[in-house]
């Protein structure tokens, strides 16, 4: 399955992409992650990308397209992929069409995550990413917890950091650029019959369920660990019921064997039957 997730910064594309990776088993290709990796390596591409991201501008198409082409050629992308944050404008969308046509891997679906602009600002302020594995969290909507609280690379708790372009000073500019450059993609993909729009202003699990319905992916069910947790909770819930049933059965047995009932049974056992009394009397009269 080849998917593009569209949405403004803070709409939850990264979180939902990670959930798709866990359930469908295809890689997430995030231009943001690829660019930040280039920045960390200090390459010329990374230097140019850093300048653009720090000022809230989009990175030039030629830089992004080269990285996307290289990533789609890796073995794990042959079964499918999730494009998160790309394309971001019509020029990139046309270039992606040409690239996927050459690779004979056309898109299966494009999903637009819709969120109100005020909610977007609130979410962006709470967003954090792990400095080691790059996983994205949100302190307000999806904080690290349970098994997700441990970094898969270090085995220690995530080292959460706020990205330089997630501060409020650049949010307004990023949203303006999104409305100007990226929103036209909605009509572009709708005309091709690929677009699905879902309301992403809800709890993370609810958005995941809506995404599953839009993609018609039955594999989008709860992870095994969540299912195991539910089974454990159900088992724990059954224990009190079993204890209550056992206590009731014990009381019933005790009441059946109460002194009053035992004495009644004893008297009945000791008392001679009426037929036996009459037989004894007849035998006595015969002997006489």
pLDDT digits (tens, 9 = 90+) for 106-135: 999 999 999 988 888 888 888 888 999 988
Q: Is the pLDDT of residue 241 over 70?
A: no
The CATH number of the domain holding residue 33 is: 3.40.50.300
Neighbour order of strands in the sheet with 127-130: 136-138, 127-130, 160-161
Place of tokens 């979180």: 15
**Region 195-208: what's the mean pLDDT?**
92
| pLDDT at residue 39, as a whole number | 84
Spell out where the chain has E strands. 2-7, 28-30, 81-84, 109-114, 127-130, 136-138, 160-161, 195-199
- Give the residue from 221, 251, 278 where a domain finishes: 221
> In 42-183, where does DSSP find H-type helix?
44-54, 61-72, 90-103, 117-126, 168-177
Residue 125 to residue 86: CA distance in whole angstroms: 22
Q: pLDDT-derived band of residue 27, with 50, 70 and 90 as boundaries?
A: very high
Half-sphere exposure of residue 145: CA atoms within 13 angstroms, side-chain side: 7
Spell out where 109-253 has E strands. 109-114, 127-130, 136-138, 160-161, 195-199
- Give the residue from 221, 240, 268 where a domain finishes: 221
Q: Is the pLDDT of residue 285 over 70?
A: no
Judge if 204 and 236 occupy the same domain. Answer: no
> 174 with 11: CB under 8 angstroms?
no
Residue 226 to residue 234: CA distance in whole angstroms: 12
Judge if 146 and 173 occupy the same domain. Answer: yes
Say which residues have a Cβ less than 8 Å from residue 207's Cβ, sequence separation at least 6.
12, 16, 113, 198, 200
Active site residues: 13, 88, 127, 163, 174
Judge if 271 and 198 occupy the same domain. Answer: no
Q: pLDDT-derived band of residue 266, with 50, 70 and 90 as boundaries?
A: very low
| pLDDT at residue 260, as a whole number | 46
Judge if 73 and 164 occupy the same domain. Answer: yes
**Share of residues in the chain with pLDDT > 70 (%):** 74
Q: Is the pLDDT of residue 196 over 60?
A: yes
Strand partners, 8: none
Residue 234 sits in which domain range?
A: 229-287
Q: With the C-alpha atoms ordered 228, 215, 198, 18, is the resulting torsion angle positive or negative?
A: positive
Half-sphere exposure of residue 38: CA atoms within 13 angstroms, side-chain side: 22
Judge if 245 and 215 occupy the same domain. Answer: no
Judge if 30 and 146 occupy the same domain. Answer: yes
Nearest to 166 by CA among 114, 120, 127, 122: 127
Q: Is the pLDDT of residue 219 over 90?
A: no
What is the number of structural domains in the chain?
A: 2
| pLDDT at residue 171, as a whole number | 80
pLDDT in tens, 145-183: 888 899 999 999 999 998 877 776 778 788 888 888 888
Q: Is the pLDDT of residue 81 over 90?
A: yes
- Give the residue from 195, 221, 247 where a domain finishes: 221
């Amino acid at each position: 399955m080849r998917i593009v997730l569209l949405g403004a910064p803070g709409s939850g594309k990264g979180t939902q992409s990670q959930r798709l990776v866990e359930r469908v088993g295809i890689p997430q290709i995030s231009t943001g992650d690829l660019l930040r990796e280039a920045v960390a390596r200090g390459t010329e591409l990374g230097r140019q990308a850093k300048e653009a991201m720090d000022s809230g501008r989009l990175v030039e198409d030629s830089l992004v397209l080269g990285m996307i082409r290289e990533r789609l050629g890796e073995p794990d992308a042959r079964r499918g992929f999730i494009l998160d944050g790309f394309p971001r404008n019509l020029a990139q969308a046309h270039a992606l069409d040409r690239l996927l046509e050459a690779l004979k891997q056309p898109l299966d679906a494009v999903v637009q995550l819709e969120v109100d602009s005020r909610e977007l600002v609130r979410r962006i302020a709470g967003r954090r990413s792990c400095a080691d594995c790059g996983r994205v969290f949100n302190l307000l909507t999806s904080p690290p917890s349970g098994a997700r609280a441990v970094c898969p690379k270090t085995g220690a708790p995530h080292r959460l950091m706020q990205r330089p372009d997630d501060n409020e000073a650049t949010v307004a500019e990023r949203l303006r650029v999104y409305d100007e450059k990226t929103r036209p993609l909605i009509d572009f993909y709708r005309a091709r019959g690929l677009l699905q729009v879902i309301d992403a202003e809800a709890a993370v699990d609810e958005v995941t369920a809506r995404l599953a319905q839009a993609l018609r992916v039955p594999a989008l069910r709860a992870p095994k660990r969540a299912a195991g947790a539910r089974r454990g909770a159900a088992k724990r819930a059954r224990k009190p019921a079993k204890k209550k049933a056992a206590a009731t059965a014990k009381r019933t047995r005790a009441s059946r064997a109460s002194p009053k009932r035992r004495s009644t049974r004893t008297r009945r056992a000791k008392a001679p039957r009426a037929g036996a009394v009459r037989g004894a009397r007849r035998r006595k009269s015969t002997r006489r």
